[in-house]
Amino acid sequence: MTVGNGRIGRIVMAAAAKHLTPVLLELGGKSPVVVDSGINLQVAVRRIIAGKWGCNNGQACISPDYIIIAKSYAPKLVDTLKSELEKFYGKNPLESKDLSRIVNSNHFTRLVKYLDEDKVSGKIVYGGERDITNLKIAPTILLDVPRDSLIMSEEIFGPLLPILTVDKIEDSFDIINSGTKPLAAYLFTNNKKLRQQFVSTVSAGGLVVNDTTLHLAVHALPFGGVGESGMGAYHGKFSFDAFSHKKAVLYRSFAGDAAIRYPPYTVGKLRLMKILMTGSIFSIIGALLGWSKV
């Protein structure tokens, strides 16, 4: 088993192939959050914050990577995010003891590169402050970033949260499916039809409706990726399944030895074999009694 990104996964898989060793890969990806209108937005935002900044300041494989929302509803989302983030981390989040540091200086530099890209720097609507001495970056919201920007091309793995807007919320699924398959995908909605469309349309390692990241804690659910986000699944019973070889064992007695298995292979034996392969008990009985013809 390996946890990492796609590059590491390919290296491990290539090494394992030399020995024909099966692998379980938990990789990553850009886990999207689709936010519908007509919901309890404050609760939704709090759960997004908990999954993003509350999970090691976004440095977790299933943290929300970006949000998709209808253009008309985006201002309300941004305002609610600002309000709730200030409640949780204060007016100066860089001084908050509840906000995790960036894991190392190389990763800090990588995140700053995303923010300072020309096509992105003007899209920051909240946050953006950074403290290189303490390796801290404030919770940062970006609105309508170009989809060909660096921040939308790679897994962020940090406190930066881009928001993409669409004319219709149903268009969100096309955006998600146009990229690689994520480790997780989240939807906030009260619309049953939209929920069903989400489940049937989006291919991801795991899906959560009206929350983020909590599926990781439910050991009755398999946890793993698909495509670029990994292969195989574990947790609970699924861990035993993943790391066990299913060895088939069949015990037979010396009784009931069927002549149909052995030469000479006659037309009658062939007819009986075909009927046996249909699995119909009535056909089998008929063949034994000489009633059936094939």
Mind listing the pLDDT tens digit for each residue in 222-273? 999 999 999 999 999 999 999 999 999 999 899 888 888 899 999 988 888 8
- Residue 275's pLDDT band (cuts 50, 70, 90): confident
- Residue 5's pLDDT band (cuts 50, 70, 90): confident
pLDDT score of 203: 97
Query: Which residue did the predictor score with more confidence, 68 or 271?
Result: 68
Q: Is residue 85 predicted with pLDDT exceeding 70?
A: yes
Q: Is residue 37 predicted with pLDDT exceeding 80?
A: yes
| pLDDT (mean) for 30-44 | 98
101 forms beta bridges with: none
Q: Is residue 64 predicted with pLDDT exceeding 90?
A: yes
What average pLDDT is seen over the chain? 94
Q: Is residue 46 predicted with pLDDT exceeding 70?
A: yes
| pLDDT (mean) for 274-294 | 67
pLDDT score of 284: 66
> Which residues, including other chains, have CB under 8 Å from residue 140's CB and lie 6 or more apart?
115, 124, 126, 127, 128, 159, 160, 161
Q: Is residue 287 predicted with pLDDT exceeding 90?
A: no
Distance (Å) of CA 259 to CA 159, 208, 256, 269? 72, 56, 9, 9
Query: Which residue did the predictor score with more confidence, 43 or 267?
Result: 43
pLDDT score of 290: 60
Q: Is residue 283 predicted with pLDDT exceeding 70?
A: no
- Residue 281's pLDDT band (cuts 50, 70, 90): confident
Residue bearing tokens 């962020």: 156
Q: Which residues of 43-65 are buried (b: 16+ CB within 10 A; e: fewer)?
A: ebbbbbbbbbbbbbbbbbbbbbb
Could you tell me if 216 and 242 are in contact, meaning their C-beta atoms sit under 8 angstroms apart?
A: no
By percentage, how much of the chain surpasses pLDDT 90? 85
Q: Which residues are catalytic?
A: 26
Where does residue 109 rank: exposed (0-12), middle (13-18), buried (19+ CB within 10 A)? exposed
H-type helices in the chain, by residue range? 6-17, 41-52, 74-89, 105-116, 118-121, 172-177, 192-201, 237-242, 267-278, 281-288
Q: Is residue 292 predicted with pLDDT exceeding 80?
A: no
| pLDDT (mean) for 94-103 | 97
Q: Is residue 96 predicted with pLDDT exceeding 80?
A: yes
Question: How far apart, in whole angstroms, are the C-alpha atoms of residue 154 and residue 150?
Answer: 7
| Phi/psi at 70 (5° precision) | -65, 140
| Phi/psi at 108 (5° precision) | -60, -45
- Whether the pTM exceeds 0.75: the reply is yes
pLDDT tens for each residue of 173-188: 999 999 999 999 999 9
| pLDDT (mean) for 76-95 | 98
pLDDT score of 182: 97
